[in-house]
Amino acid sequence: MWKGSENLKNYAPNYDFVSFGQSQIYIGDYSGKKPKKNIKGHIDITIICLDNVYIGSGFFSSRNKSICNEPIKFRNDCIIPGSSFKGALRNIASAVSEACLPKFKKKEDKKPNNNECNDKQRCIVCDMFGTVNYASRLIIPDFKAEKADTEILELNVQYGPNPKNKKYKNEDGLSKGYKFYKTYCEKYNDDKKIEVNTVKKGSKFTGRIYFSNISKEQLSLLLFSMGIDGSFNMKIGGFKNQGLGRIKIEVLDSKIEVISSENKVTASEDITNKSPLELAQEYPNNTQSRKRQIEELKKILKP
Ligand SMILES: [Zn+2]
């Protein structure tokens, strides 16, 4: 703990890391078989804000004597942009799978054996979320407010992450892992405050996520990464280290199809009778290589 550190005495380190593992090109599924990317469908979800959420628009309003950071809206309603949700989801999916490692700007920060993903070869995450010259197999639109109130909060100024910070590195200079802000944040007081117009706790957003040409394992990973099994809660948006951004995903409806080919789908491969919850639960049970990372993630993002 660096709580006592002189210049940062008011700052609470409300984050922890999920350690990096070995990355793999996605050529084998859980059982080592070549993955069949023959699943398509959609899932309708509700995003419930368990804490206030702030996704900034970059715009400000003037209020009394101060200025206030305004959330992103479509017309007059708050939204959760699909891109913000997708980013948070991808981060979790990467942490709990054999995904390629994040790119570091400096050469010496790069971990060895980090296979680059591209249009020819990809890890399980880039294969689903897309990468350079390779389109995403997911469509995640903006989530519309079903019920959203706003609340102005006075928060500590956020400082941008500093990857040079030693707290992010192991002794060998490599990054410690995927950084996640904890569910339960310790409060801290900075001298610099700003006003932020947030989406109030209890607000609800809905939307439909489409997927096509993905494998059963990828679908399970996708669903698990949303925390549908109830083992953790995602966090999105800004001020996560001050307790904002915690959300819960509920499945309203889904349609999952196996695209037929010459080879008939065998009964064991047919997943259309399985619910999104069952598919989400399968991921941590079936994955062999990332049990440790899943436990680390659950500890940080515990409900
Ligand atoms: Zn990749």
The total number of residues written for the chain in this structure: 303
pTM of the model: 0.90
pLDDT digits (tens, 9 = 90+) for 31-57: 888 999 999 999 999 999 999 999 999
For residue 128, the model assigns a pLDDT of: 98
Residue ranges in the chain modelled with pLDDT below 70: 1-10, 104-115, 160-168, 170-174, 261-270
Q: How many Å lie between the centroid of ligand 1 and the Cα of residue 116?
A: 7
List, as one string, the DSSP characters of 232-269: --EE-SS-GGGT--EEEEEEEEEEEEEPP-SSPPPTTT
CA dist., res. 98 & res. 124, Å (int): 7
The rounded distance, in Å, linking the Cα atoms of 192 and 17 is 27
Cross-strand partners of 206: 46, 144
Judge contact between 221 and 292, C-beta under 8 A.
no
- What pLDDT is attached to residue 265? 58
124 CA to centre of ligand 1 in angstroms: 7
Structure token digits, residue 28? 């084998």
Ligand 1 centroid–CA 181 distance in Å is: 23
Residues with CB under 5 A from ligand 1 (ion): 100, 117, 123, 126
Q: Report pLDDT for 163.
A: 58
